[in-house]
Structure 1
Amino acid sequence: MSNQSGISANEELLNLLRAAPTEAGDSFVAVVANISPDSTVVEFTEKCSSLEALLKALSESPAYVFVHNGAKNPNGHDFFSYVPDLAPVRAKMLYASTKNTLLRQVGSNSVTEQPMVSEAQEIADFVNGVYGKVTEASLLTESEKIGREINEEQRNMRATQSHKLVSQSNGTPSALSFSVNSGSSESLKSLLASNNLITFVINMNNEQVEIANQKNIGSASDITLQPEHPSYTVYRNGDLYYFIYSCPSGSKVKERMLYASNKQGFVNYFSEQEGITFTRIIEIGDAEELDISLISSANETEHQQHEEAARQTDGGRKFSRPKGPARRRKA
């Protein structure tokens, strides 16, 4: 079934649009068109020589708006499909199904942009150079929008501060700075010598990695993780170091992306700046997902024994052949 209404523009409207660029020159001119009351043609409604006049001309009824801005496009128009949220559903469908036919008649070469708007102010924003940014952002997924916000914030931080976070795209491990809550000037390796469990969080206000908590625990089973927000936790068990990245299920999307994109850079920092190599790097969601057996080894010998036992366990697993359906007994 066709999704086009079969309604086309009348000659008056088409002739007006063809002549508008030449007549207007570098001036602003907007042509408003509507579908006729009997739903047979798209007809010329009003011509506006200023943005203010155009905004006054638009109501709660849908319309097609052709804006000629000579400074931007001397030979064509920007085409706005203006459909207010409060417009009747039938009118919305009618204007949507007529738009492509109208554009073919006008000629795609003469149309530069084709924004769909629901408020008159959006047209003003576009003309003033603001709407273009909004339109581009509206095409992105939520995670992409957040990714752009993060990148922009990091660019701003690099321009105003001497420190920055490591990211997947432009970070360098040596540039990572810490704000240590305890005020200690010791290296992180020294801190881990006295406190074998340190939890790090990203301060969302200044985007610094900071120590949220540090303590000395007796065993891996005593580890506690941030319950509501992502975190990086470093645990020293004897001679071995473990890195735990946790991202609870209730974490905000921006937090998830920021922590995920900086995890590897943080790990690299420990290796290159602190001389710490992690025996195991673990990624989990909620705290209860942490498998204590993965971080229970206190030295390399124990770790190798644990790894060998795990391999033997995996290799020795046998799966029983599933039983077939029970046979029916003969009466």
Structure 2
Amino acid sequence: MSRSGVAVSNECQEAFHALKLGKSVKFIIFQLNDTKTEIVVSSKSSDASYDSFLAELPENDCRYAVYDFEYELSGGEGKRSKICFYAWSPDNAPVRSKMVYASSKDALRRSLNGIAVEIQGTDFSEVAYESVLDKALRR
């Protein structure tokens, strides 16, 4: 349970394990339920496209997300992947939503073991492929 009193549903961890271990899921979008008491899975996809992942992030509301980020190392060293956690809080989201999401993030983040990179996004430039790649290469 988070500082805000928001719980993490079991469905969140089950979906994360499918992404992490089964590789059957490429990304997961999480959101608060209608009563703002629990974090639930909003959507998940096996589509490998980073653009399709970004299209799932709403322009006017907050979300959490996990993406299995794949990239190629220069010099022919091969492909790598890192699991990235996103805290999406766009500037034009309602203030109440931003506050609840910010105070609930740690509960979800702590329940997901195996996150390599954490991304805080307030606009799409901060979650662009190149921005995430830069962070992934530094870790």
- TM-score per shorter chain, which class? 0.7 to 0.9
Structure 1 unmatched ranges of 5 or more: 136-331
What is the SS of the residue equivalent to 2:128?
helix
**What is the match of residue 260 of structure 1?**
none
Identity %: 22
**What is the match of residue 96 of structure 1?**
102
**What is the match of residue 87 of structure 1?**
93
Give the number of aligned pairs.
Answer: 124
Instruction: Tell me, yes or no, if structure 1 residue 119 matches structure 2 residue 123.
Output: yes
Q: Using the alignment, how far apart are the partners of 2:15 and 2:124 within structure 1?
A: 22
Instruction: Tell me, yes or no, if structure 1 residue 36 matches structure 2 residue 33.
Output: yes
Q: Using the alignment, how far apart are the partners of 1:115 and 1:52 within structure 2?
A: 16
What is the SS of the residue equivalent to 2:21?
helix
What is the SS of the residue equivalent to 2:133?
coil
Q: Return the TM-score normalized by structure 2.
A: 0.78
**What is the match of residue 50 of structure 2?**
51
Quick check: which one's strand share is greater?
Answer: 2
What is the SS of the residue equivalent to 1:72?
strand
Q: Using the alignment, how far apart are the partners of 2:112 and 2:130 within structure 1?
A: 21
**What is the match of residue 69 of structure 1?**
69
What is the SS of the residue equivalent to 1:47?
strand
Q: Using the alignment, how far apart are the partners of 2:118 and 2:7 within structure 1?
A: 18
Structure 2 unmatched ranges of 5 or more: 71-79
Structure 1 residues 95 and 53 mapped into 2: Cα distance closer, same or farther (>3 Å)? same
Q: What is the deviation of 1:125?
A: 2.8
Q: Return the TM-score normalized by structure 1.
A: 0.35
Q: What is the deviation of 1:96?
A: 0.5
**What is the match of residue 19 of structure 2?**
20
Q: Using the alignment, how far apart are the partners of 2:68 and 2:88 within structure 1?
A: 16
Structure 1 residues 126 and 14 mapped into 2: Cα distance closer, same or farther (>3 Å)? farther
Report 1:159-174 matches (<5 A): none
Report 1:141-180 matches (<5 A): none
Identify which of structures 1 and 2 has the higher relative contact order when contacts are C-alpha pairs closer than 8 Å and 6+ apart: 2
1:5-51 CA distances to partner (integer Å, 9 max, x unpaired)? 121211111111012122227xx811100011100110001113221
